[in-house]
A and B are shown apart, each in its own frame.
Chain A
Amino acid sequence: MSLERFINQAISSWMSTEGPDSDIVLSSRIRLARNLKQYRFPTLFEKDEAEAVINQVKKRLEQPGEIEDKHLELLLMDELQPLQKRVLMEKHLISPHLAENSTHGACLLSESEEISIMINEEDHIRIQCLYPGFQLLEALQMANTIDNWLEEEIDYAFNEKVGFLTSCPTNVGTGIRASVMMHLPGLVLTQQINRIIPAINQLGLVVRGIYGEGSEALGNIFQVSNQMTLGKSEEDIAEDLKSVVSQLISQERSAREALAKTSNIQLEDRVFRSYGTLLNCRIIETKEAARCLSDVRLGIDMGYIENVSENILNELMILTQPGFLQQYAGGPLRPQERDIRRATLIRERLQMESK
């Protein structure tokens, strides 16, 4: 398969750079956790209950009504190859838990992959909407539409006092997790990030590296999300996150301005060295690739590099992960082979730009 075709198939709508503030905010996500009243939660339910949950969702899917144009397709984890699951995971469309440990896990995926409804993950249903750029409220609206559509036929576990009942007490109430993925090289280079993260934590929000809990920030990409789900409305939770993210955006912009003023040539040097590495490397590890991609993207945003499209970071951060590399290669690869493949893929992708 040609690289161009492979990339076109691999790209989800959320990886594009069409959204607002997409120079800093890569994507916005809303997740709603829901459970069905009549079955035990996935932590201890039996296979027949898991099947019953899938069947209920399947039945609902026969009447798509207002969400017909989304073309939702049901994927059963039991029927997918490990590599296919891995690729979905690397695209953030399913969770590692659903891919590896769920009983009769499944996923409803929309055609452009902005909607992914996980079934039998930690909760019976997890509605996830992933939008490019800074579009939290738009994602919330879409998640609500799907939630209402499901609720027309499915009996949710809900209680007047504590709201939607979830498997884990950290999600009870609204069941909402709103999160935003941000590229913050300016705040990292000026070392402001170390002061900012604890401040954000005090506001009840969590900042993490790109791949979820406990991981370091690969490629200066951070995920900011709400922690508390009970006591505030969904809109307030999304608005609170939105206002903090807006502040982060303006701080990142001023950090970049300050960098351009005080160390223009050093920054330009750094950007072009990284660009050179990507253009010429023959072996490259994930970490180095992520660092160079971040530098190049910063160089594009700040006008040092022209004729390279902005979505290079979003695209290549996803495409150079082990699952994708192996899918492109058409079979399993050892770590060393992956590093070689990764280098080739990056070089070829950058050559596509100069054509």
Chain B
Amino acid sequence: MVCQECNQRPATLHFTKIVNGEKAEFQLCEKCAAEKGEMFMFNNGQNYSIHNLLAGLLNVQPAYQGNSQNAFQNEKVIQCPNCSMTYKQFIKVGRFGCAECYETFSEQLPPIFRRLHSGNETHNGKIPARIGGSIHLRKNIEDLKQKMKEFIANEEFEEAALTRDEIRKLEKELNSAHEEGE
């Protein structure tokens, strides 16, 4: 059999791809398969382009919903009130419509994030200074609380007491910031 892409080299790879329930069969030579980004399952992620297959990756509905007839009947449409993108559309295009989509799909997103980001689902990086003002304080307080626990566990009580005072100071700051905000 000849490769269906180049029609020259012999097809050495035969596989079936199922995306969103649509089945497609391919007969390709290795070169064309690599160029099309279809090689990912054969050689450990080499040439694997995430954008090509994002839609497939996003589709993480649990297997017990696999019976398509049932799923179809019970499915309720999740739609973003701001940009009117539905969850189904999001899965298909692999792009959010607006910032509010993140709220609207918040229940469905964690497993997707875990898949895309090596098991992570929580932001651990930069917090913008202006709009994230009180978030900074809260994160600081949490860090200090953790530190205090460590001091206590190591029986470094003087240090723990100092940390406790610091936490109280920050909590006061946080409360006054809240009052001003209201």
Contacts and interface: CB of A to CB of B under 8 A. Distances in A.
Interface of A: 35, 37, 39-41, 43-44, 122, 144, 147-148, 151-152, 155-170, 172-174, 176, 197-198, 201-202, 204, 213-214, 227-234, 237
A198 B122 contact: no
B134 to A, nearest CB: 10
Contacts of B126: 144, 147, 163-164, 174, 233-234
Contacts of B58: 169
A237 B120 CA distance: 14
B123 A162 contact: yes
Which 9 interchain pairs have the tightest Cβ spacing? Answer: A231-B120, A163-B123, A157-B99, A230-B117, A174-B125, A40-B98, A233-B125, A201-B45, A228-B117
B174 interface: no
25 contacts: A41-B96, A41-B97, A41-B98, A43-B93, A44-B85, A44-B97, A44-B98, A158-B127, A163-B125, A168-B51, A169-B58, A169-B96, A169-B116, A170-B116, A173-B117, A174-B123, A201-B44, A201-B46, A204-B118, A213-B49, A214-B47, A230-B116, A230-B120, A233-B126, A234-B125
B124 interface: yes
Main secondary structure of the interface of A (DSSP, over half): loop
Contacts of A173: 117, 120, 123-125
Nearest to A160: B135
A168 B91 CA distance: 11
A188 to B, nearest CB: 15
Main secondary structure of the interface of B (DSSP, over half): loop
Contacts of A157: 99
B129 to A, nearest CB: 6
Contacts of A164: 123, 126
